[in-house]
Amino acid sequence: WCFDLVKQRIAEAGTAAGGGHELRRALGVGISAPQGCGKTTLVTFLQRLFASDNLHCAVCSIDDFYLTNAEQQELARSNEGNALLQLRGNAGSHDLELGARTLQRLLARERDVRIPAYDKSAKGGKGDRAPPEAWPVQHEPADVVLFEGWMNGFAPLMSEDEALVAHQGLREVNRHLVGYSRWHDLQDAWVVLALDDVQHVFDWRLQAERAMAAAGKPGMSDAGVRDFVSRYIPAYAAYLPGLYSSARGGGVGGKPTLLVRVDGKRNAIADAKE
């Protein structure tokens, strides 16, 4: 589906150029998928698919644009008492300007674009942005830009929405979410991996941490996993219904959207909507 969209874009570019096939703008594909359901696997597959046809694919993650450690600490201090903003992850913990600038350069097919990287092991595991010299570089002009993230495509709620009334900490997250339209508006199409039960996020993270422990690597306890995932559940509960509704309807942001339903075993059933 994504491959066909790119080929269509190239064909349209050729028609506009009178027979040439030089893209003026890469195709931006936003990928929205909860933690643990297979974003990395999907992105790796798409990269290989595009490469097999000599197409250049750039990849960005919402995680690449986290605030620096110092900025995250300031966010936590200014939102003392709001558990959703004490750690990185929710809306408000990303550098929107850095993300927009990077995506715009990639979509404009610039050469040698440095893509920010985040080191989650830095600062004793609290994480920090990697130094620029450690950032990966997209050397070739991109034909397609894949932008993945657990909260991509989330749309802010009205202030009187029940979810915001039920969880006061979500109000500030919702306020920050308004600014993420800068990223969403840059996308030309969307792929949405939809869960049949948000509980899968906890189960998958628990599986991952237990697997690391079994391999002799440091991992979170079951209680630690529960606390970690609990910081995301309010946003999932608040925003996934709207995301899935738009994906099934006119598309996320009115853009072509592929909706893929995923069960607890990560089995998928595709349901395309353009």
Give the span between the Cα atoms of 147 and 121, in whole angstroms: 22
CA nearest to 129, candidates 178, 81, 71: 71
CATH C-level class of 2-273:
alpha beta
Q: How far is CA 202 from each of CA 17, 34, 208, 254, rounded to the nearest angstrom? A: 50, 10, 10, 31
The confidence score (pLDDT) of residue 3 equals 78
Report residues of the chain scoring pLDDT below 70: 14-21, 269-274
The confidence score (pLDDT) of residue 255 equals 96
The confidence score (pLDDT) of residue 272 equals 47
The confidence score (pLDDT) of residue 208 equals 82
The confidence score (pLDDT) of residue 17 equals 46
The confidence score (pLDDT) of residue 274 equals 43
Identify the sign of the CA torsion 61, 260, 57, 17.
negative
In sequence order, what DSSP letters do the residues of 43-105 get, joined into one string? HHHHHHHHHTTT--EEEEEGGGGBPPHHHHHHHHHHTTT-GGGSSTTSTTSB-HHHHHHHHHH
Give the span between the Cα atoms of 51 and 206, in whole angstroms: 34
The confidence score (pLDDT) of residue 11 equals 81
The confidence score (pLDDT) of residue 222 equals 85
The confidence score (pLDDT) of residue 271 equals 54
The confidence score (pLDDT) of residue 15 equals 56
